[in-house]
Amino acid sequence: YKKGFPPKTFGAPQQGSTQAQSGSSSSQDSDMKQMLQQILQGQVSGASDLHIKLADIHNKVDSSHHELTKKLEELSSKVRHLESQNSSSQKGILPGKPIPNPKEYAKAITLRSGRALPTREAPASHTEDVVIQEEED
């Protein structure tokens, strides 16, 4: 026989070794059952945590959807209101009075280079718009 290995025996195994094997297999079985129970408990608690987190996410998404829908309805209402105001006014005419320019013409022009252009005399004639505005005021 080889050195370090027990000799091969043929025949029925000894009773002492069978009891040791059955004792070790029952302890292995209980260890295995305990590990499986721990795994199952971990899965149950993980599933519970996942369910809670998914419910929270669902509530947040639902709330955001509700808020966005409400804002969209408000915006649509404002657009309809503006459209109704716009359709009631005359086309081609701007609403309100124009604000007259307080300066009749530019008196000096300075270029980016710093050079000033020579001044010109103001035009002597007024346009009809200016005359009408002066009469209204």
Decide if 56 contacts 49 (C-beta within 8 A).
no
The predicted pLDDT at position 1 comes to 46
Tokens of 91: 């086309």
* Burial state string for 21-39 with b = 16 or more CB within 10 A and e = fewer than 16: eeeeeeeeeeeeeeeeeee
Distance separating alpha carbons of residues 51 and 45, to the nearest angstrom: 10
Q: What is the pLDDT of residue 137?
A: 47
Whether the model clears a pTM of 0.75, i.e. scores above it, the answer is: no
Token pair for 24 = 């070790």
pLDDT in tens, the chain (137 residues): 455 666 665 555 555 445 555 567 788 888 999 999 999 999 999 999 999 999 999 999 999 999 999 999 999 999 998 888 776 666 666 667 777 766 666 566 778 888 887 776 666 655 555 555 555 54
